Amino acid sequence: MGDEDIPGVTVVVPEGSAEAEDTEAPRPRRMTLNMGPQHPSTHGVLRLLLELDGETIVSAQPDIGYLHTGIEKEFEVKNYQQGVTLTDRIDYLAPLSNNLCYCLAAEKLLGLEIPPMAQWQRVMLTELTRLNSHLVWLGTHAIDIGAMSVFLYCFREREDILRIFEMYSGQRMMTSYFRIGGLALEPPRGWHKRIKDFIDVFPSRVDEYEELLTNNRIWIGRTKGVGFISLEHMLDWGVTGPMLRAAGLKWDTRKAQPYSSYDKFDFEIPTRTDNDVYARYLVRIEEMRQSSRIIKQALEGMPEGRWTADAPHVVLPDREKMKTQMEALIYHFKIVTEGFRVPAGEVYQVIESPRGELGYYMVSDGTAKPYRVHVRGPSFGNLQAIPEMVKGTLIADVIASIGSMDFVLGDSDR
Amino acid sequence: MIADELKSFPVVAALLEAAPEALTGGKFDRDELTLEIAAQRIVEVCAHLKDEWKFARLSTVTAVDWYPEEPRFEVVYHLHSPERNERLRLKCRLPGENPVIDSVTVVWRSANWYERETFDLFGIRFCNHPDLRRIMLPEDWEGHPLRKDHPVTGDRV
């Protein structure tokens, strides 16, 4: 057959089997195939070791760690406010969700009260992040399965969102716009109109994506009944987020343990029961619609007020005050040179990121630097379920199955 | 010692009944319940919490290094019960010399990667783990970077 000559392909002949003795016999052969780490459908650097029997997968072994950057160690040598910039780089498709979770954890340790305006801005921007992340997911997932054009549509809207982020923070992706104690800057002039213009048309854009895919026979053929994994297995393996909701579990941290005023917003948790790639697609599409509902409500009901908490020992003073008031100058000097001290203790803050349960476990020893920060990335938990999910399915379905997990390797490797 | 205010939590009361020596301490701080468990009883306690208290999910496992204090390591488990909408943190102290604890993969299979990560970055070994290998770092990496005595920068010599 000459399989041995193809790089990355090894044919394993079990010793003592009929095949080893008689090469002419019909061959139930197992093949080990290496997929990744540079395979385009793995969206980053994930390696899958697949053991195949013909086209059927006998077992799969994910191999992660190619993107490990030691972020958790890095947290320990930065002061609390500097740590925000690291969180962007963990899940680079949902930077603001990570900013938010980190800030909430630190604020819980500090016992800070965040003004309503900052909270609502946070909700609005985090939901825009969810749209951003789901759009990248939808575009790339569709490309993996062979629908090229959806990608272009999705990236058109994603560009609008990135421009909004740029307007707010000067950065398209690594915004670090949320800070411990509120927001980094006052929302820019004209933000209301900019977001309103976007969110007014966005639902019709979702209709466009749906027109391309929802009733598309090829799409249905490639996704329906594919990638099944039972709810019990998912809970057991640590899967969270839209995957669970596509299996019928109505669980969303935004509703169950509301943070940052999510309890003041009216939205639904979309669920499905089919538990396949197609159901996960429908759940995420509906989540985009719900997110735009939340953004609309935030726009309409945005409270007046400050964008930072009333905590001079944590939040940098306004430029004007710093130049005219002695006390403000002292605070400014102290915060810039040594940071602020955080009372000793530990918290585990959990939020609903676009990918599932995002958790920050933060331990403080009373100094200006976190003693330990552990990040529970949703992708890490989700990826664990790959072997269970693809076992016994066809190799052609692997791409659709892992695509439906929506993982980000930066989030799992950290 | 278990403070009296903790005994008002049904979980704590039930644990005290089922495995009194396993529970060595705890606190309720910033709306989060933390229980300290004797390291050798961790699997038993986890199984009990999963079966009787519906903690269907293990959210994460990690560790904290309190070097140079002894016992040096703290293994931290975050449990979650979607059904009862509750979270719980368990902690076990381990010595700096040869830190070993039983794996909870028999209770939740998701512990597999979390424990591998903790093993990789802290060098804590988990007994009866099905596949205890490094997960983030290369196989030939020396040392465990999240230990406090591991340098943040500098060349390896």
Identity of residue A279: A
The minimum CA-CA distance between B110 and chain A, rounded to whole Å, is 4
Question: Exposed, middle or buried by CB within 10 Å (0-12, 13-18, 19+), for A100?
Answer: buried
* CATH number attached to the domain at A71-379+396-413: 1.10.645.10
Please tell us whether the domain made up of B4-127 is placed in CATH 3.30.460.80. yes
Q: What is the pLDDT of residue B25?
A: 84
Under an 8 A CB cutoff, do B78 and A345 touch? no
ipTM score for this prediction: 0.91
Is there a contact between A381 and B110 if contact means CB atoms under 8 Å apart? yes
Cβ atoms B74, B92 nearer than 8 A? yes
State CA A368 to chain mean position distance.
28
Task: Report the number of secondary-structure helices (H) and strands (E) in chain A.
Answer: 18, 9
Asked which of A42-56, B2-16, B23-37 is least confident by mean pLDDT, the reply is: B2-16
Helix (DSSP H) and strand (DSSP E) numbers for chain B: 4, 7
Residue that the structure tokens 């918290």 belong to: A347
| Residue A2, pLDDT score | 43
Are the beta carbons of B32 and A348 separated by less than 8 Å?
yes
Rounded to the nearest angstrom, the gap between the alpha carbon of residue A158 and the centroid of all alpha carbons in its chain is 15
The pTM for the full model equals: 0.89
Query: Residue B115 is which amino acid?
Result: E
3-state secondary structure of A279: helix
Instruction: Decide if A255 touches B, using CB distance below 8 A.
Output: no
Smallest Cα distance from A197 to chain B, Å: 38
The DSSP H or E segment spanning B88 is: strand B86-94
> Does A243 contact chain B (CB < 8 Å)?
no
Residue of B nearest to A62 (CA): B135
Which residues from chain B sit within 8 angstroms of residue A108, using beta carbons? 30
A376/B59 touch (CB, cutoff 8 Å), yes or no: yes
Could A359 and B110 be called an inter-chain contact, meaning their C-beta atoms sit closer than 8 Å? Answer: no
What are the residue boundaries of the structural domains of chain A, listed by start? 3-63, 71-379+396-413
Q: How far apart are CA A144 and CA A173, in angstroms?
A: 23
- What number of other Cβ atoms are within 10 A of residue A385's Cβ? 22
DSSP string across A70-111: -HHHHHTTS-HHHHHHHHHTTSTTSHHHHHHHHHHHHHHHHT
Give the tens place of pLDDT for each residue, B47-77: 988 988 889 899 999 999 998 888 899 999 9
pLDDT of amino acid A47: 86
Query: Distance, in angstroms, between B43 CA and closest chain A CA?
Result: 16
pLDDT by residue for chain A (414 residues), tens digit each? Answer: 444 455 555 555 556 555 555 555 555 678 888 887 776 666 778 888 888 888 888 888 888 888 888 899 999 999 999 999 999 989 888 999 999 999 999 999 999 989 999 999 999 999 999 999 999 999 989 988 888 899 999 999 999 999 999 999 988 888 889 999 889 888 999 899 999 999 999 999 999 999 988 888 889 988 988 888 888 888 888 899 999 999 988 888 998 889 988 999 999 999 998 889 999 999 999 999 999 999 999 999 989 888 898 888 888 888 888 889 999 999 999 998 988 899 999 999 999 999 999 999 999 999 999 999 999 999 998 889 889 888 888 888 888 888 888 888 888 888
Q: How far is B28 from chain A (nearest CA, A)?
A: 11
Q: Count Cα atoms within 13 angstroms, Cβ side, for A249.
A: 23
Chain B CB contacts of A348 under 8 Å are: 32, 59, 78, 87, 89
Q: Give which of A352, A374, A384 to mutate to test B binding, by max B Cβ within 10 Å.
A: A374
> What is the predicted pLDDT for the residue at B156?
60
Other Cβ atoms closer than 10 A to A188: 13
User: Which chain B residues are Cβ-neighbours of A371 within 8 angstroms?
Assistant: 64
Calculate what percentage of chain B has a pLDDT beyond 70.
97
SS3 category, A147: coil
Of B65, B89, B152, the CB nearest to A77: B152
3-class secondary structure, A330: helix
* Amino acid, single-letter form, for residue A4: E
The token duo for B18 is: 């089922």
B131 phi and psi, to 5 degrees? -155, 65
Q: How far is A86 from chain B (nearest CA, A)?
A: 15
CB pairs under 8 A between A and B: 86
| Contact residues, chain A, for B57 at CB < 8 Å | 235, 238
Distance CA A380, CA B135 (A): 11
Q: Which of B80, B82, B134 lies nearest to residue A249, judging by beta carbons?
A: B82
Place of tokens 């993969």: B105
Using an 8 Å Cβ cutoff, are A175 and A122 in contact?
no
Please state whether the peptide bond connecting residue A37 to the residue before it is cis, i.e. omega within 30 degrees of 0: yes
Q: From residue B118, how far is each of A76, A141, B7, B103, B146 by CA, in Å? A: 17, 32, 31, 11, 9
Name chain B contacts of A249, Cβ cutoff 8 Å: 82
- Amino acid in position A38: Q
The SS3 assignment for A278 reads: helix
